[in-house]
Amino acid sequence: MKTLKNLPVKKLVYGGYGLAHVEGKSVFVDYALPSEVVDAEVYRENKDYFLARTKRVVLPSSVRRDAPCPYYQECGGCQLQHLDYAEQIRAKEDMLLDTLKRIGKIEIKNLESSLYAEEFGYRIRAQFKVDRGRLGFFKRKSHSLIQVENCLLVHPAINQLLPALRELLRKIQTVKEVHVLYSPNEDEFLVKLLCDNTPPRDKIRKLKNTILPKKVVGIGVYGEGEVYHIGRNFSFIEASSYRYRVCMDSFLQINYLLWDRFIASALLKASFNKVLELHCGVGFFSLPLSKNSKFVVAYDSNRSAIKDAEYNAKINCVENVSFNYEISTEAIKRHAGEVIDLLFLDPPRSGLSGGEAKLVLKNKPNRIVYVSCEPTTLARDLKVFLEGGYKIESLRMVDNFPNTYHIEAIAHLVLD
Ligand SMILES: C[S@@+](CC[C@H](N)C(=O)[O-])C[C@H]1O[C@@H](n2cnc3c(N)ncnc32)[C@H](O)[C@@H]1O
C-alpha cells in the first residue's frame, strides 16, 4: 500500500477526516488533526482524492489525546476520540459552518453557543452486530466484527447487560444483530433480535426468563417473514416534563443527557396559531410545541411512531395536536394554500425529499424550524429556503453524538 510521507494536515472536515493535499489531489486522512504532520497509508485512490489512514503522527497537535477506548481505531463507531472533547465542539462548529458555505453558499455570522453534555455514556440505544455468537461492532469501513466487552458511548446500564446478552447469543445461533433500548427513567430495557431464521417462541421465552435480568421487559424477535414479541414492546421516557411511550420500532433521540435542552432550543418563544410538523416521531417536539400553539398537525411515515405519538398526546392530556401517518411530500401537498405560522422539520439524514423544499415555498409559512442530523442535506435545503425569501435567524450545533463525526443542528428561519 502506498504511504504518503510528512503530510501537513490543514483542517478537519465532515466525516472526521484531516484534510491534506498532495500530488494535486485532496487527501482525507482518518485520525489526523489540523496542524499535524502525519505519514498516511492510502487505502483508496480516486481521480481527485486519496483516502488514507494515519500510520504515524510525525508532529502531533497540542489538542491530540490518547483515546480513552481500547477499541478505538479498530472499531468503526467513533472517529474523534483522539481529539480533546472541548476541541471536538469547536471542530464541529467549524465543520457545520464550512459545510453550509461550501454546499449552500451560506455565510453564518453568529453561531449560537453549542449544546453539549457528558462525552461518554450518553447513548440509550445501541445496535450491536453479531457474528457466530460474538457481539460487537463492525470495524471501520468493513463488515468484519470486532468484539467489544464495553462501549464508552452507551449508557453504563447497557454495558452491564452485555454479559447476559452474550450468554443468550450462545444459545441462539441465528442472531445477526441485537438492538437495545434503555429507558433511564424507568431503568428498564427493550431488546430486539434480528435473526436469519426465527427461533421458536417458547425457546426465547424460556431464555428471557432464565438468562436475562428482569429489567429486560420485552424481547422482539425479527426473523425472515416472522416477527413476534415476548413481554412489552414499549417503554417510557420523560423529557421536558412530558412522558413518552416509545416502541422498539419508533425513532428516539439517542442522547438522553440533552433531551430537555434540545427541546428547549428547538422551540421558539412566540405563540402560533397553526403549526405543521412533518417528521414528528413519537411527538418528542410536538407535545412541547403544543403548549404555545393553538393547533399542531403532525405527520410521520412510521406507523409505530404515530401510534406512540397518539398515545402520548392522551397520557399528557394534550388535545390540540393531531398525529397522522403520511409521508412528508403528501403532507405538504395536503396543506397547500393554508396559512401556516410555523413549519417544523426534523428529517432523517437524507434531508427533505426531492421537491419538498420547493413545495414549502408555495406555502410560505411565516417561520421554519429545521432540526437536522446531516449538515450536507441541511445546507442543500436551506439554500432553497434562502433563495425563496427566508433568512436564518439563528443556527445552533447540538452535540448529540460526541466522539463521532456526526453533527446535529437547529436552524430557525423567518420570512425576510
Ligand atoms: C430524525 S427522526 C425525528 C423524529 C422526531 N422529530 C423526534 O425528535 O423524535 C426523523 C423521523 O422522520 C420520519 N420520516 C422519515 N422519512 C419520512 C418521510 N418521507 N415522511 C415523513 N416522515 C418521515 C421517521 O420515521 C422519523 O420518525
Domain limits, the chain: 3-64, 100-117+256-415, 125-235
Closest C-alpha to ligand 1, atom 1: 348
What mean pLDDT comes out for the span 266-275?
Answer: 95
Q: Return left, alpha or beta for 386; rule: phi > 0 is left, psi -120 to 50 is alpha, else beta.
A: alpha
Q: What is the distance in A from the centroid of ligand 1 to the CA of 249?
A: 12
Torsion of CA 138, 141, 144, 148, to 10 degrees: -30
Model confidence pLDDT, tens digit, residues 73-128: 999 999 999 999 999 999 999 999 999 999 999 999 999 999 999 999 999 999 99
- The CA 277 to ligand 1 mean position distance, Å, reads 10
Q: Which atom of ligand 1 is nearest to the CA of 328?
A: 20
Answer whether residue 354 shows pLDDT above 90: no
CATH number for the 100-117+256-415 domain, one of 3.40.50.150, 3.40.50.2300, 3.20.20.70, 3.40.50.720? Answer: 3.40.50.150
Compute the half-sphere exposure of residue 285: CA atoms within 13 Å on the CB side of its CA.
31
Ligand 1 pocket check for 240: Cβ under 6 Å = no
The pLDDT, as a whole number, for residue 296 is: 98
Pocket test residue of 260, 262, 300, 408 for ligand 1, highest count of atoms within 8 A of CB: 300
Q: Are 167 and 147 in contact (CB under 8 A)?
A: no
Residue 373 annotated in active site:
yes
User: Quick one: pLDDT at residue 142?
Assistant: 87
Name the residue with the closest Cα to ligand 1, atom 25. 302
Q: Give the pLDDT of residue 411.
A: 98
SS3 sequence of the chain: CCEEEEEECCEEECCCEEEEEECCEEEEEECCCCCCEEEEEEEEECCCEEEEEEEEEEECCCCECCCCCCCECCECCCCCCCECHHHHHHHHHHHHHHHHHHHHCCCCCCCCCCECCCCCCCECEEEEEEECCEEEEEECCCCCEEECCCCCCECHHHHHHHHHHHHHHHHCCCEEEEEEEEECCCCEEEEEEEECCCCCHHHHHHHHHHCCCCCEEEEEEEECCEEEEEECCEEEEEECCEEEEEECCCCCCCEHHHHHHHHHHHCCCCCEEEEEECCCCCCCCHHHHHCCEEEEEEEECCHHHHHHHHHHHHHCCCCCEEEEECCHHHHHHHCCCCCCCEEEECCCCCCCCCCHHHHHHHHCCCEEEEEECCHHHHHHHHHHHHHCCEEEEEEEEECCCCCCCCCEEEEEEEEC
Q: Kindly tell me if the per-residue pLDDT of 140 is higher than 90.
A: no
| Closest atom, ligand 1, to C-alpha of 302 | 25
Residue 183's pLDDT is what?
A: 98
Q: Does the pLDDT of residue 292 top 90, yes or no?
A: yes
Q: 300 C-alpha to center of ligand 1: Å?
A: 6
From ligand 1's centre to the CA of 35, what distance in Å? Answer: 39
Ligand 1 proximity of 244 Cβ (cutoff 6 Å)? no
- CATH fold label, 3-64: OB fold (Dihydrolipoamide Acetyltransferase, E2P) (2.40.50)
Q: Residue 224: what pLDDT?
A: 84
Provide the residue type at 237 as one letter: I
* Cβ–ligand 1 contact at 300 (below 6 Å): yes
pLDDT above 90 (res 1)? no
What's the residue count for the chain?
416
CA nearest ligand 1 atom 8, residue:
284
Q: Do domains 100-117+256-415 and 125-235 have the same CATH topology?
A: no
Query: If you measure from the C-alpha of residue 13 to the centroid of ligand 1, how many angstroms do you get, rounded to a whole number?
Result: 27
408 C-alpha to ligand 1 centroid (Å): 14
Quick one: pLDDT at residue 132? 86
Other C-beta atoms closer than 10 Å to the C-beta of 142 total 9
Q: What is the pLDDT of residues 297-353, one digit of tens each?
A: 999 999 999 999 999 999 999 999 999 999 999 999 999 989 999 999 999 999 999
Give the model's pLDDT for residue 211.
97
Q: Exposed, middle or buried, 317 (CB in 10 Å: 0-12/13-18/19+)?
A: exposed
Q: Which amino acid is at 100?
A: L
The proportion of the chain whose per-residue pLDDT surpasses 70, expressed as a percent, equals: 100
Q: Are strands 342-345 and 272-277 parallel, antiparallel or unpaired?
A: parallel
Q: What is the mean pLDDT of the chain?
A: 96
Measured CA to CA in angstroms, residue 224 lies from 176, 193, 195, 399 at distances of 12, 12, 7, 36
Alpha carbon of 82 to ligand 1 centroid (Å)? 32
Question: Closest residue (by CA) to atom 13 of ligand 1?
Answer: 279
Q: How far is CA 209 from CA 191, 213, 234, 241, in A?
A: 13, 8, 18, 34
pLDDT tier, 197 (very low <50, low <70, confident <90, very high otherwise)? confident
Of 69, 75, 247, 373, which is the active-site residue?
A: 373
CB neighbour list of residue 74: distance below 8 Å, 6 or more residues apart: 139, 140, 146
235-249 confidence digits (pLDDT tens):
999 999 999 999 999
Distance 305 CA to ligand 1 centre (A): 9
The answer, yes or no, to whether any atom of ligand 1 lies below 6 A from the CB of 26, is no
Segment 50-58 shows an average pLDDT of 97
The reported pLDDT for the residue numbered 41 is 97
Q: Give me the phi and psi of 137, to 5 degrees please.
A: -130, 165
pLDDT at position 268 is 94
For residue 57, give the amino acid letter: V
Q: 366 CB under 6 A from ligand 1?
A: no
Output the CA 329–ligand 1 centroid distance in Å.
Answer: 12
Contacts of 24 (CB under 8 A, 6+ apart): none
Q: State whether the beta carbon of 285 lies less than 6 angstroms from ligand 1.
A: yes
Quote the CA–CA distance of 66 and 69 in Å, as a whole number.
9
Residue in 125, 181, 246, 251 to alter for ligand 1 test, most ligand atoms within 8 A of Cβ: 251
For residue range 203-218, what is the model confidence (pLDDT) as tens digits? Answer: 999 999 999 999 999 9
pTM flag (> 0.85): yes
Atom from ligand 1 closest to the CA of residue 282: 9
Asked if residue 225 has pLDDT above 90, the reply is no
Residue 301 beta carbon below 6 angstroms from any ligand 1 atom: yes
The answer to whether the CB of 327 is under 6 A from ligand 1 is yes
CATH 2.40.50.1070 for domain 125-235: yes
Mean pLDDT of the 33-44 span:
97
Q: Is residue 302 within 6 Å of ligand 1 at its C-beta?
A: yes
pLDDT over threshold 90, residue 29: yes
Q: Ligand 1 atom 5: the closest Cα is on which residue?
A: 281
Residue range 28-45: mean pLDDT, rounded: 97
**Is residue 133 over pLDDT 90?**
no
